[in-house]
Homo-oligomer: A and B are copies of this chain.
Amino acid sequence: MNVVVQNIERADQAVIDALGKCGVATVHEAQGRKGLLAANMRPIYAGARLGASAVTISAPPCDNWMVHVAIEQVQDGDILVLAPTSPSNAGYFGDLLATSMQSRGGRGLIIDAGVRDIADLAEMKFPVWSSAVFAEGTVKETLGSVNVPVVCAGALVNPGDVIVADDDGVCVVRREEAEKVLEKARERIANEEEKRNRLASGELGLDMYNMRQRLADKGLKYV
């Protein structure tokens, strides 16, 4: 019942990196407004932005044994995504594990639980999005699984799915949809550049998007 899946497929690294540059809001919109993890998943420091390939962890509450197991499965460009099997805010992860991750090219951590040593992690430029910052220690007593589908902060994440994360939060993109989503995200960005210029010059969204008639049709009254 407790397994480590060793061979997982990943999206193309160039696609992953490019999605990371697009950012969470854009990618979320580009794939039809889906894939966001819950709003309480916040970065431990401002300014990080990344795309990475998910190595998933299903871990017992307050037990970080599986993190050690998962790191062996990490390749350059990967990110850990940890979902506890019961709600926990314990600090599963700190600077030693981050050191190990960085030595393998791991890019960060998404965890619906706690993280600690965040001053050190910020200095190491190791980004974490978590639902808590808490120093509570964990044990190494009970098995979980690595690289199985998990529900993390309300979103289904499969191993090899693409994680996009920045100051706005975290979004997951299905591995098999990554290319298509990137294409749409790029269209969106190109499109926004022109809009930004028009809005900056004083044009109103009401006019730019032709909203006035539809507002009147729906019954909006100006008084």
| Interface, chain A (partner B; CB < 8 A) | 1-6, 23-25, 28-29, 32-34, 36, 38-39, 42, 45-47, 49, 60-62, 65, 68-69, 71-72, 85-91, 94-97, 99-100, 102-104, 114, 116-119, 122, 132-137, 139-143, 149, 151, 154-156, 166-169, 171, 192, 195-196, 199-202, 204-206, 209, 211, 215, 218-223
Contacts and interface: CB of A to CB of B under 8 A. Distances in A.
Given A6-B223, A87-B89, A136 B33 contact: yes
Contact of A68 (B1, B36, B211): B211
Contacts of A132: 39
A95 B60 contact: no
A199 B139 contact: no
A195 B61 CA distance: 25
Contacts of A99: 196, 199-200
B166 A119 contact: yes
Considering residues A45, A60, A154, A218, which has the most beta carbons from chain B within 10 angstroms of its beta carbon?
A154
A203 B134 CA distance: 27
3 nearest A-B residue pairs (beta carbon):
A39-B134, A68-B205, A100-B199
Contacts of A100: 199-200, 204-205
A185 to B, nearest CB: 13
B223 A4 contact: yes
B114 A39 contact: yes
A104 B199 CA distance: 10
Contact of A134 (B139, B140, B168, B218): B168
Given A62-B61, A88-B86, A103 B72 contact: no
A119 to B, nearest CB: 4
24 contacts: A3-B220, A6-B222, A25-B91, A25-B116, A33-B85, A42-B133, A62-B86, A65-B211, A65-B215, A68-B211, A71-B204, A71-B206, A72-B204, A86-B136, A96-B199, A103-B200, A103-B201, A103-B202, A133-B168, A134-B168, A134-B169, A142-B218, A151-B151, A154-B154
A28 B69 CA distance: 25
